[in-house]
Each structure stands twice: as structure tokens, then as C-alpha cells.
Amino acid sequence: MKLLIGIALTLLSTVYANEIDICHGVPVNTFIRDVSACNAWFRCTANGPVPGTCPSPWLFNPTTQECDWEQNVQCFTCPITVPIVNIAVNGSCVGFIRCINGRASQHACQNGLLFNSATGQCDLPENVDCRIEFTCPPNIPPGQMVAFRSDTNCSEFYVCTGPGNPIQQSCNPALHFDPVTQQCTFPNMTDCPLTPPGDGTTTPNPGGPTTTTQAPFVCQSDGHFPHPTTCSSFVVCAGGTPHFFNCSEGLHFNASTRQCDLPSNANCTLK
């Protein structure tokens, strides 16, 4: 018998310390899975994601947002054929899963960038073709109305009154939808970062990231690292081997968030 998350899960009191808010645009008290462990989940709060786990022997079912029996749950696993890969999150234009040597971690593009499945990176919106058929989650109580903000437009939102198809709505173009208060409000009163980035003078790079031959780089650990000589490239270490990639044109690698970002946010002093 299923065990409802809202009743039986053991909530942790500390907010998950992630450099990127994976709950961006997700309504408060929504549960999302932790791809690093099949029995783990995050509860989205007004202050960010809070982690928790299902009690044994249950696993977290992202479809029903409940703890469930193992036979009903399909766990996320990283591809074993490639050491490094970024995978888009279903139903999101900003979320992605980063796999390094089979270890998964969750991330979300920020500062107006969208995840580009073709290049495996966060990219400028004009370079990304992301269309999401939004469906209402199954755990909305009968008679309750919940609104979800669009991943691609701060002023658009979807109204759900239960499982099934949503009702698409829009705020005044000068306002943004706030998933916390469930209302249209002034842009500075909510956290949606999807404002037009840059000054419009950059040229899209259709080639995306490319592995190139670079100067020797010594990997101290697995992960994403700044390139030693240029802001527009970065190094991914997997199993002690460095792999060199380029950001999309007009973007710099942000050492704090470990992903390509707008130059004004990356604060890179190299050329």
C-alpha cells in the first residue's frame, strides 16, 4: 500500500545546499525526485529545496509524488556508454541532470538561459527550441486549484484543478506570475529570471560545444572547472581525464555555478 509523502515521509529541517535552485518555478510543497538516490526526494519550499527520504522499503515515485513499492518505480540511471553527459529534465526547459562517471546531480539554468538538448548546455533562448506540453500533476486534491508558472515565459501560467489538462492563462505582459503567492505581481516581487539576456549583439553558435586539443590540464577531482586561459571554454574531468569544451558564443564559464553563463554573471577576468 502506498505511503503518502505528505503524511509519512521524514522531512529534513535544513534547506538543500545547491548552487542552483532546482525548485525554480515549481510551486511550494511540490515534491521532485533526487536523481542521486531512488528513495530520495526534495520538497520545494519558499526558501528552496529541502531533502528527504522514503522509509524502507519504499522508493520515491516521481509520477505520483509518493513513496511507492519498488515494482512501481523506475529509477533514474546515468548512461554507461559516456563518462560525461547533461540530460534534459522532462517537462522543463531549464532543468537538467549532470552525469559524471555514472554519478547524477540535478541542476537548473538560470539568469534567463534555457537548457539546449542539442549542445547539452545552458544557452541563450534564441538558440533553444523547447516546447513543453504541460500536464497537471496527479496529486492535486479534488476541488483545489493550483497554478504553475511557464518555464519559458514569466507572464504565463497554467491553472490545474486536478489531474489532466491545464488551463493556460497570462498575466499582463508587464507583470510576472509568482508561484508562491499564486498571483500576478511586479517582476521585482518574484524570482523569475527569464528576462532578455545580453544586448542582442551576440551571434548564435550553431556548432555548440566541441572537444578540442588544449594545453595540459591536471585533474585534481571529477567535475567542471574553468579553462586556464580563456573565459569562453571550460574543462570537465572524468576519471582523471580532462575534456575541453566551449560555451555557446556570447557566454562565459561561471566558476561558481559550474556552467556557462552571461559574462556579467561569470565575472571572468581572462580573455
Reported as a single tens digit per residue, the pLDDT across 205-216 is 333 334 334 456
For residue 111, which of 177, 25, 193 has the smallest C-alpha distance? 193
Residue keyed to cell 582523471: 240
Is the CB of residue 249 less than 8 Å from the CB of residue 262? Answer: no
pLDDT at res. 14: 33
Reported as a single tens digit per residue, the pLDDT across 21-75 is 677 667 677 888 899 999 999 888 877 888 899 998 999 988 777 888 999 898 9
3-state secondary structure of 38: coil
- Judge whether residue 249 has pLDDT over 90: no
Domain ranges of the chain: 5-72, 84-128+206-266, 133-195
Reported as a single tens digit per residue, the pLDDT across 148-180 is 888 778 888 888 877 667 888 888 878 888 887
For residue 210, give the C-alpha cell: 566541441
For the domain spanning 5-72, the CATH number is 2.170.140
Question: What is the C-alpha to C-alpha distance for residues 102 and 53, in angstroms, rounded to an integer?
Answer: 21
Q: What's 263's DSSP letter? A: H
